[in-house]
Structure 1
């Protein structure tokens, strides 16, 4: 079992790190009270879970009275674990607290700096036991993800980017969760051909009609080339899911055809792909 304890300075990015492990398939728990760690580990051993990440930190209050005892208990279970410790300089942490307008967990109507210094002293022993230490002070979110990948997932096959391709009709509204939206209402419309009006872009007759026009082929070449360029860049940025919505007027002909053809274009590439023709039956 891969059992990871994420801890460190408040404001250093523990929640961001936990979210990344969750995206990589870990079962994740935030702010687990230290006194429950061994009980939680025992439950994990009795389950089918094999990748666990949890955050336990100074928010647990009686932190050090319990944490090291709990770690000793899970060692007796012969459960190997790692400790990831995140930290940043005082100046960086002060700035982050000012930007977020949140109180430090140890703040008792005092100065933020006093709370940070107190926390850093309390965490000294735990930092010394850490398997990995990351200073997040100068790291952007994508750089933190890259650092985590290097430390914990180097040599592993990367998770595939999941693409959701959605056709829709503008008359019914744009999908709210779309990352990219393309409007194909400029393409010749099969709706105005009597023999095609009641058919959809899932049928070859409609696809042939949409594809026979030079403007369609020129557009597909440029659009598919853009998607081919963008997807690796989104992967570098750390995206695990991308929703591409393609719309026409009613969501039955041109958008459906375009989604189907885009799926064919991407089929041989290294992505997980799902499609949804949202307004096909409306």
Structure 2
């Protein structure tokens, strides 16, 4: 790709941040939010630079937590609210079965991680759901107050939170919102209240995976918190990130409890559907929410 019109300014900012001259800046295909560029430095290093309107320091914090817990992520070289400079990781998003199995083992290990003081969590966070700070999923805030009950956390901080945002944006029909609220009121009979509080990446889809030589080199763009590990599995299924090799390997490594495919997966997928409805304002996501609710009996 050719250098964008704003690249010289970005190059100057990276040079100032790393105190190293920049030789070239090349725009990359990024996500839906912000810009990503590959930056070649005069000292021979290559880094990735991200800019955007969302506070990028939040992403840096999440990457630090994930790296500390052993997940392969890019090293943070510079952090600011409007500029993030990361290690440039070689790889692509071509997902083949051997990569799926490697991803499954990484995520199964991550899901065994619990809140700890080294993440900035307080002693009172043990056994609770949330995160030391609010995080982001795309451009949207994820509220993460430490909560004793998983049902209460998912109901109030995820399902009702994003349903309310969608109502306020005028993209969630009133009747559909009422059906979601009816489901939310019954979650204590549909979800476990005290599953182990697993650390989840939160946004595992193909474009957020870099792979090479049959293994995952890096997981990108997290949306972290401690919650029910099945939220991650439901998102992987929602996004079509991986296929049977992933789920079979994950089940062997950590186990998938009975009932996930029969109901909890559809419940957990309502949240990314609401997020996509908010962002894309596409009625197809409202239709998928309605289908999920019908399948669940609401």
TM-score by length of 2: 0.20
TM-score by length of 1: 0.21
Rg comparison, structure with higher value:
1
